[in-house]
Amino acid sequence: MLRVFVCLSGSCLDIYTISGGTAVSGVYTLDVAGPDVVVYCDFDSAPGCVFTYISPSTTSIDDITSLYTENDIVVLRHLRQKGKQYTADVRQITAFDGVPLSVQFNANTGYVGPINGQMGPYIHLGIVPTALIKPVPPGPATTQGWSIQGTDAAYLDCDGNPSSYFVLLLNENNEPCRTTPAGDVLAQTVESAWVTGAVDATVEIPNNFFVEDYELHFGCGALLYSTYEFGGGIGRIRGVAFGLKSNLPV
């Protein structure tokens, strides 16, 4: 049963704390130093954690960092054609261990922005900051990629392109997607790791919290759009969502 609450707290963590630990997973309205934001608070997927999913209907968030406390992980959840949900824990690869992930709303400070920026507003997951990706030449080349479910999906950048992001395109004005051909086999392996390495979701969230349009880009041709067809019988992805993590008080 879907629970919907009007609760003008600042975050899912606030809701849980104020409730004395009795808050239940559901749709909440938050007051994030600006317009009210509708989120899904997931208190059930992992003991001691809360994951916040932002509604795709959101047009503005003044301070998205107030929605989470942990910047070493983002849960990348996807919905497949037959309606089943899967999740993948996204972290930095070993080469950048300790470098925080960045989640920004309609901004990409320190990172390359989306090619399909016209499909905004957008939620930007920055992985390796631009300043840490060395140009080629003069080199040496930078190892790029991401960690999915604790396993590095990485490759040696060939062109010094500093792109390192996954963007959810909320596409308020229904703009068309600009696409280019996918990269080589190695690039495709890295860019699809969030699907091929995903696990069954232990707890599901409402389908209307998934975004249909998204864009992933690493350097050296690793470029992926929402129109991409995955092989191996996976098929087209119906939607994607970010779970922003906070640790619950002990």
What pLDDT, on the 0 to 100 scale, is given for residue 35? Answer: 75
Q: Which has the higher per-residue pLDDT, 148 or 217?
A: 148
Q: Which residue, 82, 44, 52, is CA-closest to 70?
A: 52
Q: Which has the higher per-residue pLDDT, 75 or 4?
A: 75
| Residue 29: strand, helix, or coil | strand
Query: Based on the number of CB atoms within 10 Å of its own CB, is 54 exposed (0-12), middle (13-18) or buried (19 or more)?
Result: buried
What pLDDT, on the 0 to 100 scale, is given for residue 56? Answer: 96
| Residue 61: strand, helix, or coil | coil
Asked if residue 232 has pLDDT above 60, the reply is no
What pLDDT, on the 0 to 100 scale, is given for residue 73? Answer: 97
How many whole angstroms separate alpha carbon 13 and alpha carbon 250? Answer: 12
Q: Which has the higher per-residue pLDDT, 92 or 144?
A: 92
| Residue 40: strand, helix, or coil | strand
Give pLDDT tens digits for 136-184.
Answer: 766 678 889 999 999 999 988 887 789 999 999 999 999 988 776 555 6
Asked if residue 47 has pLDDT above 70, the reply is yes
